[in-house]
Chain A
Amino acid sequence: MSEALISVRSLCKWYGAWCALDHVSLEVRAGSCTVLCGPSGSGKSTLLRCLNGLEEWEAGDVIIGGCPVARRARDLRRLRREVGMVFQSFNLFPHLDALANVTIAPRVVGRQRRADAERAGMALLARVGLADQARKLPADLSGGQQQRVAIARALAMAPRALLFDEPTSALDPESIKEVLDIMVELAESGTTMVVVTHEMGFARHVAHNVIFMDRGRIVEAADPASFFKAPASERARAFLGEIGATPVA
């Protein structure tokens, strides 16, 4: 059993009077795939965005690779190089082509030479099956292709963990499969991943841990087999029933 790469200790966050995260604690082992699920407004995206400092929190600690996440801008920037992020709405840079989207961080933040960055970028695009689309602008790519470029972009800084914030929620069924295939491949090759998703098939077959959240609390954390077979809490049972992933009796 490898040590925890990411640990969250008693994290609390409020939006005014609304408690978005209520003493959330969790551990993510290196090389594991964790799925966060739960109804909307349950705090799963907020938790994910705390893991790379995109959100600020009021109390508690986030520790990545043994270092607590600080509030200083320079430390945050160093942290973000260690943790890549994929967004629901892709957020590719529309004025840059696919390759430039992938290489911008290595060139500007990692200070790599253009030729080196482009060679590595082409390899990443090939990994997500888009080597032939390198010179296309995001507007000329399908949703699935855009999300795959976004995954390549998140991988470009060779992060120690990847965060996915509902990566397939803005996609049509065909594109969902393209993106999920890449994510399965990443998980199988030992990438540390934390995924917020409603794709219960992915959670059931690929995840090592499933964490169910509701109203800013972690209600249940289990391995997928036991979570889907017999969810311990009534709320998780109701949630699985609602999204049509009924537990196999």
Chain B
Amino acid sequence: MLTTAASLKDESRRTDGAGAVARRQARRRRAALLQQLLLLGALAAVGAVIVRNTVVNLQARGLASGFDFLWQEAGFNVGFTLIAADATSTYGRIFLVGLLNSLLVAAVAMVAATMLGFLIGLARVSQNIPARLLSKGYVELVRNLPLLLHLLLWQGVILRSLPTVKQAHELGGVAFLSNRGLYLAAPVGWSTASLVFLGGAGATLCIGLLLARRAHRRQELLPPAHAVGMILLAAAFIVITVASVDWDVPVLGSFDYRGGVKIMPELAALVAALTLYNAAFVAEIVRAGIQSVSPGQRQAATALGLSARLTMRLIIVPQAVRVMVPPMANQYAHLIKASALATVVGFPDLVNVFMGTALNQTGRAVEIVVMTAAVYLTLTASVGLVTGWYDRRMKLVER
């Protein structure tokens, strides 16, 4: 009887204790919520002051605001455009021109830096001592110099090593190389027949690649006769296409070449600097990824009789790639942002033509800076999204 009473009392004290704990937790939650609300309120107040100040100051100086300028004529030429643009184009079109130029630079440099970096990274861990020393020397030299130095160096090297326009190197009468740029013959006037031939070449190559891929999946090689046949057929299609199209060949005028397409030397300098600089970092990411794979994996593959090359391709690299994805995403984001250094060498990227010339002419600083920032945010965020998706998919496969 006595024990029952005692245990009952004990029980009630325990429930009391539990109630106190619950009350304490609720109090803590309320305090935390209050703190967060206060912080949000303070941030909102600061934001409101900034916006109001800006509006008041813009009005006080009689500066216009809004995005209507995007439909106004810009009145200046851009040295390199992927879409048609001239002095009568609108600021909106100039924005698009700059955006496409930035994308071109970033995309080419990204692919080239990845391929070069992969090769250098593999050389860093190879058994071949000269290859290892050379790649180490490259990485240490290149990544320890400022990107700006690379840019100016390549601009100087490319511009100075090329002849003036009067002494341009002629390549087969269809391409001319001088310090003003590389002038190429451009196809104009596509006939239906030439489009069909081009399609034939594309289709042949696609079928060939599909067959090779299928053979690769079965761990076989495409029969050499088939491969050669495919390549010859595709080459024939391409030759017929080239012959059936009209070409606009650049012609030397009094000051410069006219006609064809012009590729600026500044573009080459920018892409070269971004590629070579980022390749050094990619090489380090590749090396770290490969070295992160446990030595037991290489031993197991070796013990099974796999050659060093097959071990690398089938065992080491597939595991290393998973480790490499997050730092590669970082490096790509860096490369995209660094492409804005185009201004230094005078290549008309987004920052140069839009945040530079367009901003100077219109004075719409807030709108233009916001638009430019939004472009870079979107680009780097999409790199993050794509690599994040890849990472999750890999984790799902490996678990």
**Chain A, 109-123, contact with B by CB distance < 8 Å: what is the 0/1 string?**
101011000000000
Contact present for B297 and A93 (CB under 8 Å): yes
State in angstroms the CA–CA spacing of A164 and B304 once bound together: 14
**Chain B, 253-288, contact with A by CB distance < 8 Å: what is the 0/1 string?**
000000000000000000000000000000000000
Interface centre among B304, B318, B319 (most CB of A within 10 A): B304
Contact present for B304 and A95 (CB under 8 Å): no
State in angstroms the CA–CA spacing of A154 and B305 once bound together: 11
Shortest Cβ distance from A117 into chain B, in angstroms?
A: 9
CB closest chain-A residue, reference B303: A85
Contact present for A95 and B318 (CB under 8 Å): yes
Chain A residues lying within 8 Å of B219, measured Cβ to Cβ, are 107-108, 111, 114
Chain B residues lying within 8 Å of A95, measured Cβ to Cβ, are 318-319, 397-398
Given A137-B398, A139-B398, does the pair A104, B304 have CB atoms closer than 8 Å? yes
B307 at the interface (CB under 8 A from A): yes
User: By the criterion of a CB under 8 Å from any partner CB, how many residues of chain A are at the interface?
Assistant: 31
B interface SS class: helix
Shortest Cβ distance from A116 into chain B, in angstroms?
A: 12
**Residue A105 contacts which of B218, B304, B308 (CB distance < 8 angstroms)?**
B304
Contact present for B305 and A81 (CB under 8 Å): yes
Chain A residues lying within 8 Å of B300, measured Cβ to Cβ, are 85, 87, 91-93, 150
CB closest chain-B residue, reference A156: B304
B211 at the interface (CB under 8 A from A): no
Chain A residues lying within 8 Å of B319, measured Cβ to Cβ, are 93-95
State in angstroms the CA–CA spacing of A185 and B56 once bound together: 89
CB closest chain-A residue, reference B304: A105
Given A93-B297, A108-B219, does the pair A157, B302 have CB atoms closer than 8 Å? no
Given A87-B296, A139-B398, does the pair A77, B314 have CB atoms closer than 8 Å? no
**Chain B, 293-320, contact with A by CB distance < 8 Å: what is the 0/1 string?**
0101101111111111010001100110
**Those of A48-75 within 8 Å (CB) of chain B:** 52, 54, 73
CB closest chain-A residue, reference B318: A95
Shortest Cβ distance from A138 into chain B, in angstroms?
A: 9
Chain A residues lying within 8 Å of B307, measured Cβ to Cβ, are 73, 77
Task: Identify 26 residue pairs between A and B in the complex whose beta-carbon atoms are under 8 Å apart, listed by A's number.
Answer: A54-B299, A54-B302, A73-B307, A77-B305, A77-B307, A80-B304, A85-B300, A87-B299, A91-B294, A91-B296, A91-B299, A93-B300, A93-B301, A93-B319, A94-B319, A94-B398, A95-B318, A95-B398, A105-B305, A108-B306, A114-B218, A114-B219, A137-B398, A137-B399, A140-B399, A150-B300
Q: Which 8 A-B pairs have the closest CB atoms?
A: A91-B300, A91-B296, A105-B304, A85-B303, A80-B305, A81-B305, A109-B305, A77-B305
